[in-house]
Amino acid sequence: MLRLDGVAGWACDARLPSHILRCDAQTLRTTLQRDGVVQCEWSNPLAALRWLGETAAAETADVRWIGYLAYELGQLFEPLGRYWDCTSGEALFCFGRVSPEGEAFPDESGT
């Protein structure tokens, strides 16, 4: 079993995400997908993050948006110079919406 641990009241069993919010590092196109189908799209990644903040705040207490912000997201605020490589295929950020009603991860036997 995969479990998300943290401060009291936040820990929960991990489930497959129902939605994925992802920002492409090359194009800055951000999409919200459900079951692989684009539900919403932003050309401005910061607008998508604003949407995520508002949406997460309105969710019930048992819903989690779990993900990451890449260091390279900082290039939207200041030049990162020669160290930034947007061609790696990595996302600038990616979050998944996880709820107790979501599908459980398959166990290690593949079932």
Which conformational region is residue 54 in: left (phi greater than 0), alpha (psi within -120 to 50 degrees), or beta? alpha
Taking the model in full, what pTM does it have?
A: 0.80
pLDDT tens per residue, range 36-50? 999 999 999 999 999
Q: Inform me whether the pLDDT recorded for 1 exceeds 50.
A: no
**Token code pair at residue 87:** 């061609």
Q: Where are the domains positioned within the chain?
A: 3-98
Query: Which H or E run contains 45?
Result: helix 45-58
Half-sphere exposure (CA, 13 Å, Cβ side) for 111? 1
